[in-house]
């Protein structure tokens, strides 16, 4: 009798423990949307675009929250030439789709001259950079998979968090968000 009572007590306790874990799992994944949504051209998913660099506006199209961290999609509208320095993402693949204008996109040792309709894939841990090369406006769609902390990173930069940081503090900030700079921005012939 003692053994059967012990087994019943253990089983009852174990089933009681699964309830908090089930609730925790539901709460953690509860951010993921279970409905479709529409984001109009030139608009942001949350009606609050981000300004990351002078002349660059980011429009969130699919948020990290929408996908429970599996993907982040943004549109970058640029009026100035140039782009970010050569960098690597520890855990994110990155994909670029040129919508308007022209971009040089470097992935590893390859440099691509991408025009509207072209796309380029950059695997995680491979150095990459891109630069707008045309006069006038340009638009590029960027996808991070999985999302990692890129959306959080862009929001913080847009809010001015990194403005008063030293270069060493910026490097640590980038590492905390899953990437690091490994070289200079792309250079290109000005047209």
Per-residue pLDDT of 89-116, as tens digits, reads 999 999 999 999 999 999 999 999 999 9
User: For residue 3, which phi and psi values (nearest 5 degrees)?
Assistant: -65, -45
CA–CA dist 50, 56 (Å, integer): 8
Spell out the domain ranges in the chain. Answer: 50-182
pTM confidence score:
0.81
Q: Which long-range contacts (CB under 8 A, 24 or more apart) does 120-126 make?
A: 120/95, 120/96, 121/93, 121/94, 121/95, 122/93, 122/94, 122/95, 122/96, 123/93, 124/88, 124/89, 124/90, 124/91, 124/92, 124/93, 124/94, 125/88, 125/89, 125/90, 126/88
Asked if residues 186 and 106 have their Cβ atoms less than 8 Å apart, the reply is yes
For residue 7, pLDDT over 70 is answered with no
Per-residue pLDDT of 139-177, as tens digits, reads 999 999 999 999 999 999 999 999 999 999 999 999 999
**Which class does domain 50-182 fall in?**
mainly beta
End-to-end Cα separation, the chain, in angstroms: 89
Q: Which residue has the higher pLDDT, 8 or 131?
A: 131
């Amino acid at each position: 009798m003692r053994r059967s009572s012990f087994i019943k007590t253990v089983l009852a306790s174990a089933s009681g423990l699964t309830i908090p874990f089930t609730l925790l799992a539901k709460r953690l994944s509860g951010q993921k949307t279970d409905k479709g949504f529409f984001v109009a051209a030139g608009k942001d998913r949350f009606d609050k675009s981000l300004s990351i660099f002078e002349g660059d506006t980011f429009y969130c199209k699919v948020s990290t929250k929408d996908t429970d961290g599996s993907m982040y999609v943004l549109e970058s509208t640029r009026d100035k030439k140039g782009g970010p320095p050569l960098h690597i993402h520890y855990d994110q693949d990155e994909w670029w789709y040129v919508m308007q204008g022209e971009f040089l996109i470097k992935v590893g040792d390859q440099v691509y001259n991408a025009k509207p309709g072209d796309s380029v894939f950059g695997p995680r841990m491979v150095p990459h950079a891109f630069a707008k090369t045309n006069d006038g406006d340009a638009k590029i769609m960027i996808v991070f998979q999985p999302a990692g902390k890129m959306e959080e990173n862009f929001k913080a930069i847009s809010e001015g968090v990194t403005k008063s940081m030293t270069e060493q503090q910026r490097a640590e900030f980038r590492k905390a968000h899953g990437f690091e700079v490994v070289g200079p921005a792309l250079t290109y012939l000005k047209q």
